[in-house]
Structure 1
Amino acid sequence: MEKTSVFTFIRKYSVILGVLFLFILSGCQGTPVDPTEASSGGFFNQVFVIPFSELIKWIAGIFHDSYGLSIIIITLAIRLALMPFFLKQTKSSMQMKEKMQVMKPDMDALQEKYRGKTDPESKSKMQQEMMQLYQKHNMSPMAAFGGCLPMLLQLPILIGFFYAIRQTPEIATHSFLWFDLGQTDIILTLIAVAVYFAQFKVSQMNMDPNMKKQMAIMGWISPIMIGVFSLSAPAALPLYWAVGGLFLMVQTYVARKVYTTAESTA
């Protein structure tokens, strides 16, 4: 069976892991504070949460206190601003996949050579030969981790906006489309769940069949967690997730098509 390194796992499922990280942080958050108060702070609150909260209220004011439209506009603006990082991550992933396919026969032969040998000397020799194999194919063992860096750079921005939505009390007093932003909405929750499930399916485009089977369970984790959390959260949050997920799904589809086409014509 094909082995999956932790770096490959993180790179392929950075979005899902980011969502899980949001839930962990939200679980650690105590009683919400007013983010507009200077005393409510800490570095993260001052640099990310408070500015986003003020931006939400400012844009809502332009559109006659439409906080739902404000959340949509800022979500799309953030995703557009982060798109270069995402494209870099996708390109790195596709290049890594191509190099790993070329290197796979040599890697399989090396693993077969040392199969069942668990003594320290054999392990040391295997690691040395593996490093030589990486050098032969002009690859760095840490290259996969480099593809994770764009996601790590995005997290403070996405988390800051997430908390700004949670901690801006004005949002809860307004409605948008058919739902109240401050109340739980079942329909919007189902939409957010469906969007993230579809986004996972799009992320599997051109993925190795064995990898699809290994990671099938991950396709349910983020949608289920979004659904569970949304059932006890104001509708402003699943609105944010649904819009961001739709954008990410389209972005992933286009990026995969572009880079796959580029590879096939190279």
Structure 2
Amino acid sequence: MRKKLWLTGVLLLLFFVLTGCSDLNQPIDANSKGIWNEWFVYPLSWFIKYVAHIFNGSYGISIIICTIIIRLIILPLIIKQIKNSKAMQEMQPEMKKLREKYSSKDAETQKKLQQETMLLFQKYNVNPLAGCFPLLIQMPILIAFYHAVYRTEEIRNHTFLWFSLGHVDYILPFIAAATTFIQQKIMVGRMGNANPQMAIMTYVFPIMIAIFAFNFPAALALYWVVGNIFMIFQTYFIYAPSKSKTKETGGATK
């Protein structure tokens, strides 16, 4: 968990650096040069404009649809992450026994602990870094999304509901933080027996999202709100079958 927190901090720092160092005042279009512009920012900008054109020029609806599409694309990876988290929980009792068995701090004992731990990971088919993969994939998307919104004039000047997509809104960040909190609480509740670090992240992530949302265009906060709502339903439908199965197994055992 500490490694995951460290990686999250590094990625967030990278987000601020990349969004700050690039020339945000340069409009994005088909003539924009550079791998970042040609392969990430412009295709996303073009797609958002294309979807908006289908929906009578509503860039707010376009962002909602694009967010759902992005979430559906990374859904298999999220499912794999959740399965990995379940397996990590199942192996915790054995991990505890290993730590107690190899409690000595000398190099030889710690080497044996690492070897036994790797065998345990193989037994449960667990990848200790799998929890970071969705974050690694989403970060470039978020950065490209930010650039696409900020550097596409049509999006920057568009109003959706009560807010301007290209400017900071002071209500949407609270909604983004609230939906993040609800999503995290549901995730922890569905997983059951969550460790203290996960409980802490339930409060840390909403604060982080709120800080982001108060410093970037409202379109990015809208992306988070829609993404969180999607993940709330996603978490329910992914975990519901396993919980039902557990209840049926428990009933049969009795």
Using structure 1 for the length normalisation, give the TM-score.
0.77
Which string of whole-angstrom CA distances, capped at 9 and with x for unpartnered residues, describes residues 207-250 of structure 1? Answer: 45461x23333223332233233234332221121111111222
CA contact (8 A) 1:94 1:259 kept: no
- Percent identity between the aligned chains? 41
What is the aligned length? 249
Which string of whole-angstrom CA distances, capped at 9 and with x for unpartnered residues, describes residues 29-56 of structure 1? Answer: 4434212152x33212211210110111
Q: Please say if 1:73 is aligned against 2:65.
A: yes
Say which of 3, 19, 37 aligns to 1:26: 19
Q: Please say if 1:94 is aligned against 2:79.
A: no
C-alpha distance in 2 between matches for 1:121 and 1:15? 32
Which letter does structure 1 place at the counterpart of 2:224? W
Q: Per the alignment, in what secondary structure is the counterpart of residue 189 of structure 2?
A: coil
Q: Please say if 1:233 is aligned against 2:223.
A: no
- Which residue of structure 1 aligns with residue 56 of structure 2? 64
**Post-superposition offset of 1:68:** 0.9
CA contact (8 A) 1:68 1:181 kept: yes
Which letter does structure 2 place at the counterpart of 1:252? T
C-alpha distance in 2 between matches for 1:263 and 1:20? 41
- Which residue of structure 2 aligns with residue 187 of structure 1? 171
Using structure 2 for the length normalisation, give the TM-score.
0.80
Instruction: Please give the root-mean-square deviation of Cα atoms over the aligned residues, in Å.
Output: 3.2
CA contact (8 A) 1:93 1:144 kept: no
**Distance verdict in 2 for CA 1:146–1:197, change over 3 Å:** closer
Q: Please say if 1:107 is aligned against 2:99.
A: no
C-alpha distance in 1 between matches for 2:42 and 2:8? 24
Q: Which runs of 5 or more structure 1 residues have no equivalent in the other structure? A: none
Which letter does structure 2 place at the counterpart of 1:82? I
Which string of whole-angstrom CA distances, capped at 9 and with x for unpartnered residues, describes residues 140-177 of structure 1? Answer: 6x622245435434443444333312221211222111
Matches within 5 A, 1:1-266: 4=1, 6=3, 9=4, 22-23=15-16, 25-38=18-31, 40-98=32-90, 100-101=91-92, 104=93, 106-115=94-103, 117-131=104-118, 134=120, 138-139=123-124, 143-207=127-191, 209=193, 211=195, 213-262=196-245, 265=248
Q: Which runs of 5 or more structure 2 residues have no equivalent in the other structure? A: 250-254
